[in-house]
Amino acid sequence: MISQRLLGWYSHNKRILPWRETKNPYKIWISEIMLQQTQVATVIPYYERWMKSFPNIEALAKADYDYVLKHWEGLGYYSRCKNIHATAKSLNGKLPETFNELIKLPGIGEYTAKTILAIAYNKKEVGVDTNLERVGFRLLGLKKKSKFNNNRVKKFLENIQDKSKPGDFNQALMDLGSSLCQAKAVECIPCPIVDDCKASTNDNPLEYPEMKKSKPIPTLNIAVCIIFHNDKLLVMQRPKHKMLGGLWEFPGGKIEKGESKQAAVIREIFEETCLIINNPKYLGEVRHQYSHFKVKISLFQHHKKDISSLKIKENYLWTSIEGLNSLALPKANHKMLDFLKKLD
Ligand code: SF4
Whether 223 and 117 map to the same domain: the answer is: no
pTM of the predicted model as reported, rounded to 2 decimal places: 0.92
- Taking the centre of ligand 1 as the mean of its atom positions, its distance from the CA of residue 182, in whole angstroms, is 9
pLDDT over 70 for what percent of the chain?
A: 100
Q: Is the pLDDT of residue 174 over 90?
A: yes
286: domain CATH number is: 3.90.79.10
Q: Is the pLDDT of residue 344 over 80?
A: no
129-154 b/e (C-beta count within 10 Å ≥ 16 → b): bebbbbbbbbbbebeeeeeebbeebb
Q: Is residue 139 part of a domain?
A: yes
How much is the average pLDDT of 303-322? 94
Is residue 199 within 8 A of residue 139, CB to CB? The reply is yes
Q: Is residue 149 part of a domain?
A: yes
> pLDDT at position 213, please?
85
Per-residue pLDDT band at 105 (split at 50, 70, 90): very high
CA atoms of 235 and 252, how far apart (whole Å): 10
Q: Is residue 90 part of a domain?
A: yes
Out of 145, 174, 207, pick the residue that ends a domain.
Answer: 207
Closest atom of ligand 1 to 197 CA is 4
Q: Is the pLDDT of residue 111 over 80?
A: yes
Q: Is residue 214 part of a domain?
A: no
H-type helices in the chain, by residue range?
2-13, 25-35, 40-53, 57-62, 65-72, 79-90, 99-102, 110-121, 130-140, 147-160, 166-177, 261-273, 331-343
Q: Is residue 212 part of a domain?
A: no
- Of all protein residues, the one whose alpha carbon is nearest to atom 1 of ligand 1 is 194
Whether 202 and 329 map to the same domain: the answer is: no
Closest atom of ligand 1 to 192 CA is 6
Whether 196 and 307 map to the same domain: the answer is: no
Whether 190 and 246 map to the same domain: the answer is: no
CA atoms of 261 and 172, how far apart (whole Å): 52
> pLDDT at position 291, please?
87
- Taking the centre of ligand 1 as the mean of its atom positions, its distance from the CA of residue 151, in whole angstroms, is 20
- Taking the centre of ligand 1 as the mean of its atom positions, its distance from the CA of residue 206, in whole angstroms, is 9
- Taking the centre of ligand 1 as the mean of its atom positions, its distance from the CA of residue 184, in whole angstroms, is 12
- Of all protein residues, the one whose alpha carbon is nearest to atom 2 of ligand 1 is 188
Per-residue pLDDT band at 272 (split at 50, 70, 90): very high
Whether 149 and 100 map to the same domain: the answer is: yes
pLDDT tens track for 183-240: 999 999 999 999 999 999 998 999 999 988 888 999 999 999 999 999 999 999 999 8
Nearest to 6 by CA among 153, 119, 154, 166: 166
Closest atom of ligand 1 to 187 CA is 7
- Taking the centre of ligand 1 as the mean of its atom positions, its distance from the CA of residue 12, in whole angstroms, is 18
Is residue 278 within 8 A of residue 294, CB to CB? The reply is no
Whether 69 and 129 map to the same domain: the answer is: yes
Q: Is residue 144 part of a domain?
A: yes
Mutate to test the pocket of ligand 1, among 5, 6, 133, 135 (most ligand atoms within 8 A of CB): 135
Q: Is residue 213 part of a domain?
A: no
**Cα–Cα separations (whole angstroms), residue 248 to 76, 85, 304, 333:** 14, 18, 20, 9
Is residue 234 within 8 A of residue 311, CB to CB? The reply is no
- Taking the centre of ligand 1 as the mean of its atom positions, its distance from the CA of residue 237, in whole angstroms, is 47
- Of all protein residues, the one whose alpha carbon is nearest to atom 8 of ligand 1 is 181
> pLDDT at position 218, please?
96
Whether 179 and 327 map to the same domain: the answer is: no
Mutate to test the pocket of ligand 1, among 3, 174, 200 (most ligand atoms within 8 A of CB): 200
The residues annotated as belonging to the active site are 32
φ and ψ at residue 116, rounded to 5 degrees: -60, -45
| Number of domains, the chain | 2
pLDDT tens track for 77-90: 999 999 999 999 99
Regarding beta strands 232-237 and 316-319, do their DSSP bridges make them parallel or antiparallel, or are they unpaired?
A: antiparallel
Mutate to test the pocket of ligand 1, among 179, 186, 202 (most ligand atoms within 8 A of CB): 186
Ligand 1, pocket residues at CB < 6 Å: 135, 138-139, 180-181, 186-188, 191, 193-194, 197, 199-200, 205
Out of 181, 207, 233, pick the residue that ends a domain.
Answer: 207
Whether 96 and 186 map to the same domain: the answer is: yes
> pLDDT at position 155, please?
98
Per-residue pLDDT band at 313 (split at 50, 70, 90): confident
- Taking the centre of ligand 1 as the mean of its atom positions, its distance from the CA of residue 36, in whole angstroms, is 23
Whether 125 and 154 map to the same domain: the answer is: yes
Whether 189 and 229 map to the same domain: the answer is: no
Whether 100 and 18 map to the same domain: the answer is: yes
How much is the average pLDDT of 160-164? 94
Q: Is residue 338 part of a domain?
A: yes
Is residue 60 within 8 A of residue 68, CB to CB? The reply is yes
Out of 183, 207, 231, pick the residue that ends a domain.
Answer: 207
Per-residue pLDDT band at 271 (split at 50, 70, 90): very high
The domain in which residue 300 lies consists of: 219-343
Nearest to 128 by CA among 156, 92, 162, 104: 156
Whether 199 and 226 map to the same domain: the answer is: no
